[in-house]
């Protein structure tokens, strides 16, 4: 039953529920009403028959008519009383049980032996009961008729009067009342169904004709999408109250800041009042830079709210730098391949000209600079680290910088992503190359080892070094001594190190130069 209702449309479901409930309540009401009405009718007509019978029995005119056997006068009295007492059936008998008034004239003058009058004629009892009357089942009361026999108040029974209300007539009255009640209930049910149809239509208009099950599915999908998307999303209504905010937005915004301040900073009120969208605008507060997109929301050509999607510029900058790092490695490898081909052509020409000594000299010159470095790469088995070091060796050679990999370096394959390795190693080596460009001795020494419980990366350069103030600020987002729109590289390195539960140190010896040290635990899980 439940599944059947669940599969109905919202209109059918509402009508079915309203119709079922209204039918049940109406039937229950009619049943209760009929039960009490039947009981009340029985009591009412018993009381009415008792009052009418007593009234007739105590009428002096009736007593005289019975004593004188004046049938016409007796009938006239009874007809007048019947008109005032809802037309009951009245019978009158003499002391001997002879009918002198009966609805069936054939019974008049006949004496019948019946227990109906026994108690009344013998003992003067007033009897009210339900039984077989003159014309059928009825509620009846039998009362004695007395006659004075002397001046001292003596009386004797001279007959009895019976007032009967037929059960058929009583039931007809009850059915008539129930019929009127059913008609009223039917009208109420029609109004109820009409109200259900109106309610269903109103709900469908509010839901744009979409069924509740579909709305629930759409809501689950929306929640999943809002939770999965990395961009922050905030929606406000026309009163600037926040109607939606996803977890990414809460994470990006400062938890200590009121949400109303946040929507002001993001520019949502401006979009709401002006109706003009804004795209890729930078909003800065508390050291964070957001790229925001705000557009107004319309309903029936009226602005009803605004939505803003935003993202930390640092994430975009990090992605951009990672892409640039990978592109740089690819360019370096292409340049190395091109250079290698050219030298091979030179060697091929010298050998064909049988200039063997010159060919040997070229080979010796080519391998002299790389004799120390390239064998060391064999001990670096992590693909990401190996590719980065190889690319940086080529780049350093182009800039005439000595990039030395320590003989003790060793690194097995790690769980560190190639992109994260590119951020850590690549940024540090690029900074080291920039630092030694103006130095007399342009040398960079790299030490990578995984001996022990940590992966240790040391990069030492012969640059001018850094002051104490600089070493305390270099990991701050946006800090740079190289000009504007810089200062993200070391911040990204620091973030990548923290992602792998690592530590980072920087020292600047008195004799000059800078040493960057990274310590990454081997067994730690990556922080999401």
Tens digits of per-residue pLDDT, 260-291? 777 888 888 888 888 888 888 888 766 677 88
Structure tokens at 260: 């109303």
Those residues whose C-beta lies under 8 Å from the C-beta of residue 349, and which sit 6 or more positions away, are: none
CB atoms within 10 A of CB 106: 8
Report, as an integer, the average pLDDT of 175-189. Answer: 86
Distance of CA 326 to the CA centre of its chain: 44
Helices 356-368 and 313-352, axial angle in degrees (round to 10): 160
Distance CA 414, CA 422 (A): 13
Structure tokens at 6: 């669940």
What's the pTM value of the predicted model, to 2 decimals?
Answer: 0.42
Which is more confidently placed, 183 or 265?
A: 183
Residue 56 has pLDDT above 60, yes or no: yes
Radius of gyration, CA atoms only, the chain:
55
Report, as an integer, the average pLDDT of 25-48. Answer: 87
Predicted local distance difference test score (pLDDT) of residue 307:
92
Which is more confidently placed, 148 or 90?
A: 90
Which is more confidently placed, 469 or 42?
A: 42
Q: Strand 402-405 to strand 443-449: parallel, antiparallel, or no bridges (unpaired)?
A: parallel
Report, as an integer, the average pLDDT of 58-68. Answer: 86
Residue 1 has pLDDT above 70, yes or no: no
Residue 525 has pLDDT above 80, yes or no: no
**Do 391 and 353 form a contact (C-beta atoms < 8 A)?**
no
Predicted local distance difference test score (pLDDT) of residue 177:
85
Residue 217 has pLDDT above 60, yes or no: yes
Concatenating the DSSP letter of every residue in 280-298 gives EEEEEETTEEEEEEEEEEE
Predicted local distance difference test score (pLDDT) of residue 338:
66
Q: Strand 288-299 to strand 278-285: parallel, antiparallel, or no bridges (unpaired)?
A: antiparallel
Report, as an integer, the average pLDDT of 507-524. Answer: 85
Report, as an integer, the average pLDDT of 77-103. Answer: 87
Residue 398 has pLDDT above 80, yes or no: no
Those residues whose C-beta lies under 8 Å from the C-beta of residue 262, and which sit 6 or more positions away, are: 234, 253, 254
Report, as an integer, the average pLDDT of 223-246. Answer: 84
**Do 134 and 104 form a contact (C-beta atoms < 8 A)?**
yes
The pLDDT-based confidence of 306 (bands split at 50, 70, 90) is very high
The pLDDT-based confidence of 456 (bands split at 50, 70, 90) is very high
**Do 430 and 394 form a contact (C-beta atoms < 8 A)?**
no
Percent of the chain with pLDDT over 90: 9
Query: Which pairs from 59-64 meet CB under 8 Å and 24+ separation?
Result: 62/145, 62/161, 63/145, 63/146, 63/147, 63/158
Measuring CA to CA, which residue among 416, 365, 366, 364 is closest to residue 386? 416
Which is more confidently placed, 253 or 187?
A: 187
């Amino acid at each position: 039953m439940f599944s059947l209702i669940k599969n109905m449309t919202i209109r059918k479901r509402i009508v079915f529920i309203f119709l079922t409930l209204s039918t049940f309540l109406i039937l229950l009401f009619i049943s209760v009403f009929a039960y009490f009405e039947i009981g009340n009718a029985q009591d009412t007509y018993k009381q009415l028959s008792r009052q009418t019978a007593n009234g007739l029995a105590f009428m002096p005119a009736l007593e005289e008519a019975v004593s004188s056997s004046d049938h016409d006068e007796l009938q006239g009295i009874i007809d007048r009383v019947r008109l005032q007492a809802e037309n009951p059936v009245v019978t009158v008998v003499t002391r001997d049980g002879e009918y002198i008034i009966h609805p069936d004239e054939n019974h008049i003058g006949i004496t019948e032996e019946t227990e109906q009058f026994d108690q009344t004629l013998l003992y003067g009892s007033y009897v009210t009961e339900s039984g077989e009357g003159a014309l059928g089942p009825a509620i009846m009361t039998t009362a004695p008729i007395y006659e004075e026999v002397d001046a001292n108040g003596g009386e004797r029974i001279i007959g009895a009067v019976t007032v009967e209300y037929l059960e058929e007539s009583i039931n007809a009255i009850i059915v008539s009342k129930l019929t009127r009640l059913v008609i009223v209930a039917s009208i109420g049910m029609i109004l109820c169904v009409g109200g259900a149809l109106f309610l269903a239509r109103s709900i469908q208009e509010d839901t744009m004709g979409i069924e509740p099950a579909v709305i629930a599915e759409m809501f689950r999908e929306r929640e999943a999408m809002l939770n999965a998307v990395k961009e922050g999303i905030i929606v406000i209504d026309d009163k600037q109250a926040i109607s939606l905010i996803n977890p990414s937005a809460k994470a990006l915004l400062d938890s200590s800041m009121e949400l109303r301040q946040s929507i002001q900073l993001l520019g949502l009120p401006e979009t709401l009042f002006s109706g003009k969208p804004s795209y890729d605008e930078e909003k800065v507060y508390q050291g964070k830079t957001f790229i925001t997109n705000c557009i107004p929301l319309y309903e029936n050509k009226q602005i009803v709210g605004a939505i803003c999607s935003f993202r930390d510029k640092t994430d975009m900058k990090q992605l951009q730098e990672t892409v640039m790092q990978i592109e740089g490695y690819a360019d370096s490898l292409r340049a190395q391949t091109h250079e290698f081909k050219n030298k091979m052509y030179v060697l091929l020409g010298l050998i064909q000209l049988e200039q063997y000594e010159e060919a040997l000299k070229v080979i010796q010159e080519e391998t002299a600079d790389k004799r120390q470095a390239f064998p060391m790469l064999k001990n670096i088995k992590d693909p990401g680290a190996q590719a980065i070091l190889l690319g940086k060796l080529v780049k350093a050679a182009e800039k005439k910088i000595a990039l030395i990999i320590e003989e003790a370096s060793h690194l097995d394959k790690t769980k560190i992503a190639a992109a994260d390795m590119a951020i850590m190693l690549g940024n540090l080596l690029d900074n080291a190359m920039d630092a030694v460009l103006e130095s007399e001795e342009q040398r960079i020494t790299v030490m990578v080892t995984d001996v022990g419980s940590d992966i240790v990366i040391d990069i030492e350069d012969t640059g001018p070094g850094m002051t104490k103030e600089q070493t305390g600020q270099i990991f701050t987002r946006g800090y740079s001594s190289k000009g504007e729109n810089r200062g993200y590289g070391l911040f990204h390195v620091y973030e990548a190190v923290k992602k792998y539960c690592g530590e980072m140190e920087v020292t600047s010896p008195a004799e000059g130069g800078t040493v960057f040290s990274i310590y990454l635990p081997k067994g730690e899980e990556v922080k999401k």
